[in-house]
A and B are shown apart, each in its own frame.
Chain A
Amino acid sequence: MRIYVTSVLVDDQSKALDFYTRVLGFKVKHDIPMGEHRWLTVVSPENPEGTELLLEPSEHPAAKPFKTALVEDGIPATSFQVDDIDSEYERLVSLGVSFTQKPMDAGPVRMVVLDDTCGNLIQLIQMKSS
C-alpha cells in the first residue's frame, strides 16, 4: 500500500490552480473534467513521480465551518518541505503571499505558515539538519 495522493479542500479550483502552480511552483499532473469540477492534482517539479496533491473542491457543507475554524486558530491544513525556508519566505513575500507566521524555529524544524487564498493555511518547513 502506498500514499499516491493527498488533498487540500479549496474554495475555487481555478484560483487554487493558479496559486499552487504559479506562486508555490508545483506542476499539474492530472486535470480531468468531472462534471462541475475537475480531478485536479499537482506535483513537485523536484519529484514529479511523487505523491500528488489533489486540489479538491470544498463542496461539502461541513467543509466551510471546519476550514474557517482551523484558519481562525492559525492551524495549517497541510505542510510542505523546502530546502531553504528563509529564501522561500522572501520569494513568496515578494509575490504578495500573506503569512500568519513568519520564520520560526521549533525544535528540529524551521517553519512558516501562509495563506493559500483558497481558505487554507499552509505550513512550510525546513528540516534543520538538511
Chain B
Amino acid sequence: MNDDDLDHIFKALGDPTRRKIIDRLRERPGQSLFEICALFFAENGMALSRQAVTQHIDMLQKAGLVRVEWSGRTRIHSLDPGPLREAVDLWLRNHL
C-alpha cells in the first residue's frame, strides 16, 4: 500500500454518505444499487439519486473498500475492510 492508496482510502472516508454506506454494507453484505438506495432512504428519510450512489460506490471501490460481484445479472456490493486495517497499520497507528 502506497501514499496513493492511502489517499483513496481517506478520501473515500471523508464523506458522511459514504461512511453510512460502509456501515450498512457491514450490517448487510451483498447489496444491489437499488437496495443501497432503498436502505439509505429508509434509514435517513432522504433520497439519494442513483447517480449519486453510483459515484460514491465508485470512490469506495477505488479505495478497495467495496467489492462488486454478480448475482445472476445483478451487480452486488460488499464491504472489504482489509484496506482499512492496512491503513491503520501503515499510518494511523503511529498516532494512536
- Give the interface of A toward B (CB within 8 A): 68, 71-76, 98, 100-101, 104-107, 111, 113, 115, 121
Which residues of B are found within 8 Å of A111, using beta-carbon distances? 38
**Given A68-B73, A72-B73; A101-B32 close (CB under 8 Å):** yes
Which residues of A are found within 8 Å of B38, using beta-carbon distances? 104, 106, 111
Residue among A74, A98, A100 facing the most chain B CB atoms (10 A cut-off)? A74
**Given A98-B72, A100-B71, A100-B72; A74-B32 close (CB under 8 Å):** yes
The number of residue pairs between A and B whose CB atoms lie closer than 8 Å in the complex comes to: 54
Measured CB to CB, the closest approach of chain A to B24, in angstroms, equals 10
Q: Which range contains the number of B residues in contact with the other chain?
A: 10 to 19
| Bound form: Cα–Cα A98–B74 in Å | 11
Name the one of B41, B42, B74 contacting A74, with C-beta atoms under 8 angstroms.
B74
| Bound form: Cα–Cα A111–B73 in Å | 20
Cβ contact within 8 Å between A113 and B42: no
- Closest B residue to A109 using CB positions: B42
Cβ contact within 8 Å between B28 and A74: no
Which residues of B are found within 8 Å of A98, using beta-carbon distances? 71-72
A-B CB contact pairs (8 Å), 9 listed: A73-B34, A73-B75, A74-B32, A74-B33, A74-B74, A75-B33, A75-B34, A100-B32, A106-B41
| Bound form: Cα–Cα A116–B67 in Å | 26
Which residues of B are found within 8 Å of A107, using beta-carbon distances? 41-42
- Closest B residue to A108 using CB positions: B42
Cβ contact within 8 Å between A71 and B74: yes
Cβ contact within 8 Å between B74 and A106: no
Top-6 shortest CB links A-B: A74-B32, A74-B34, A106-B42, A73-B33, A107-B42, A100-B74
